[in-house]
Amino acid sequence: MKKSAAVALAMVGALLLISLFLNLVPGDPVDIMLGEHAALVDRQALRHAVGLDQPWYDQLWSFSKSLVTGELRSSLPPFQKKVLPQIAAALPNTLLLAFAAMAIGVALALPLGVLAAARSHSAIDHLAMALSVAGVALPRFWLGPMLIILFAIKLDWLPVSGAGSLRHLVLPAITLGVALAAFLSRVTRAAMLEALREEFITVARAKGLAPLPVLWKHAFRNALLPILTVLGLEFGTLLGGAIVTEKVFAWPGMGTLLLNGIEARDYNLVRAVVLAFTFSYLAMNALTDLAYAAVDPRVRKQ
């Protein structure tokens, strides 16, 4: 019950904040639709038609009612397409990109972090951490175009942009996955080092267990909770961080939809996309809590 109330409160807070920010954004949707030199009568008529002449709280109430009934439409005439079908078409693409990036990040980070912890303060450890720092430092808006130049233009191995096949997914997923891998490898190393200092690891080694079972079966399993915490938080970051990457690669996801709505001053579309991002993030946090219970029996008892 408390979690449901927290989710509802977060959704309401996100809606209020985005509505406040939209009112502060410079530019008038009417100017975009009609041009700055349109007649005053036409401007007033259009403003009334799309509800921009109402107070912000009335606009917010109209938005909420339309969203609940599923009849929410774009703020922009003449066609005013329904918003929810647009989100339903874009959200799977963003989720696919986020999961692909997470798969790449986990596949790179976990072995790298575990190896760095197992060989702490060695040349392998220093090299792994240097690579992680480089991965964090590389901005996505730079890495994406560099990957396009190398793999799409120079080598002609992959398409430049767009969607339609798994080949289109490779470059944007790598762009997002590299930063995740860089950060997650450092978290994995720190969690593994802490686990390897525990007494039960010393006892396992004293019993003559082989190094690999001690490392993976005992130490890694006990280091999973902080790793899962980071994964849950980073998934929400991937959804939001995918905005720039989607724009670079013309990936038809939620980020592209949000930017299109902002550029056109389509307030209804922007509000709905932000709420979808918020709900996805909260849902991932709930799944992370379930993962805690699956990994740690103490959490299940609580």
**Tally of structural domains, the chain:** 2
Structural domain of 58: 2-70
Q: Angle 248-252-258 (CA atoms, 0-180°, nearest 5)?
A: 80
Last residue of a domain, one of 70, 100, 125: 70
pLDDT of 297: 61
Q: How far is CA 247 from the centre of its chain?
A: 14
Identify which of 101, 105, 235 has the alpha carbon closest to the alpha carbon of residue 173. 101
Check pLDDT > 60 for residue 300: no
Same domain, 155 and 246: yes
pTM of the predicted structure, to 2 decimals? 0.81
Q: What are the pLDDT digits (tens) for 122-154? A: 888 888 888 888 887 888 778 888 999 999 899
Check pLDDT > 80 for residue 97: yes
Q: What are the pLDDT digits (tens) for 188-241? A: 888 888 888 888 777 777 777 777 777 777 788 778 888 888 888 788 778 766
Give, for 131, the enclosing helix (H) or strand (E).
helix 123-137
Q: How far apart are CA 252 and CA 158, in angstroms?
A: 17
pLDDT of 301: 57
Q: What are the pLDDT digits (tens) for 263-276? A: 877 888 888 888 88
Q: How far apart are CA 285 and CA 193, in angstroms?
A: 26
Average pLDDT, the chain: 81
Identify which of 228, 200, 196 has the alpha carbon closest to the alpha carbon of residue 293. 228
In a domain, 81, yes or no: no
In a domain, 7, yes or no: yes
Same domain, 60 and 140: no
pLDDT of 294: 67
In a domain, 219, yes or no: yes
